[in-house]
Structure 1
């Protein structure tokens, strides 16, 4: 009987968290992340303030929970798994397209900088790891690697955000391919 009670409680928690996340997404798309208050979120989700604070300490934590719902870690891990010097963003763009509203709320112009910066830093880190063996270990070369990876990461995120905001005028494969070409070109031309 205890197991059944835990399942019921878990379902209620899931429903509450889903309602809060959906409320945050709707509100971000409506008026931007910075303008959203906790009161707005609880009103839209139709939950009490104490219920909100049982699950989250802040709207930032709620946003980060939404990030976990995007399962982006899988896609950052996938960048590590690409063969050779190839880097692929295919599955990242497919997943973003499948979760367009959540991605737009988190990464779009109204989403604030926190998640965009998180994505940029993770993409840059993966790019740096992927192309790092092309650089010697000198301090100067490692600085160049960091600068190039940061620039490439920013370019990929800029592509992603523009693509989302413009209602995805290219297929996931097309935009991914362009990002791959851009990143590869940066490292082939600038690193020599």
Structure 2
């Protein structure tokens, strides 16, 4: 009986997640009401309130769920391993896993990071990437005097570029596979954006 109830709860939450995404596409996050969600998910208001207090609570639960999933992957990314893979002409598997996660949850990330979504979610993801990169890069740069770019500037650039890269991919129909996307970003990060598109010093 408990398993059946758990499956029913999971199904209800899945229906509400799908309804939430569809409604953001249709009218934007700010205009969504509980009535909109229950109609779209084909459930009653009582069922909604068994799971969430209001639309904000649903949003926060979904943001936390997807943020934790992303954090679990980003925490294992290692700049040194990426550099080694790039120098050997290989794809860094850590980036492949990252883009596989975005690909699997593309509907949610596309609307939440898009113009009708929630700006605080983009800020949360950017902060997460910056925090994790700061932990990794600090180990490499601490005490060194030959660093050409201050670490905080580099981290801000890379975090913004990473999000912009993913958002472009999502909004243009995910034409590349996660592995192809990882290969492209590896080239950009290893060679720099100008060399990656073929510029040569005269």
TM-score class, shorter-chain normalisation, is 0.7 to 0.9
Q: Considering only aligned residues, what root-mean-square deviation do their CA atoms show, in Å?
A: 2.9
Work out the CA distance in 2 between the residues paired with 1:63 and 1:96.
18
Map of 2:89 onto structure 1: none
Q: Which runs of 4+ in 1 moved over 6 A?
A: none
| Structure 1 residues 10 and 171: alpha-carbon distance in aligned structure 2, compared to 1, 3 A threshold | closer
Map of 1:51 onto structure 2: 47
Query: Is residue 2:150 matched to residue 1:152?
Result: no
Work out the CA distance in 2 between the residues paired with 1:131 and 1:174.
25
Deviation per CA, 1:78-134: give whole Å up to 9, x if none. Answer: 325973756742211122123322222233333221221121111112222221123
1:76–1:126 contact (8 Å) kept in structure 2: yes
Q: TM-score, normalised by structure 2?
A: 0.73
Deviation per CA, 1:39-93: give whole Å up to 9, x if none. Answer: 2112211223333232123334323433425832332233259737567422111
Which sections of structure 2, spanning at least 5 residues, go unmatched?
A: 85-91, 193-202
| Structure 1 residues 46 and 149: alpha-carbon distance in aligned structure 2, compared to 1, 3 A threshold | same
Work out the CA distance in 1 between the residues paired with 2:191 and 2:31.
39
Map of 1:133 onto structure 2: 139
Work out the CA distance in 2 between the residues paired with 1:126 and 1:151.
14
Work out the CA distance in 1 between the residues paired with 2:82 and 2:139.
11
Map of 2:197 onto structure 1: none
Alignment length (residue pairs):
179
| Structure 1 residues 169 and 84: alpha-carbon distance in aligned structure 2, compared to 1, 3 A threshold | closer
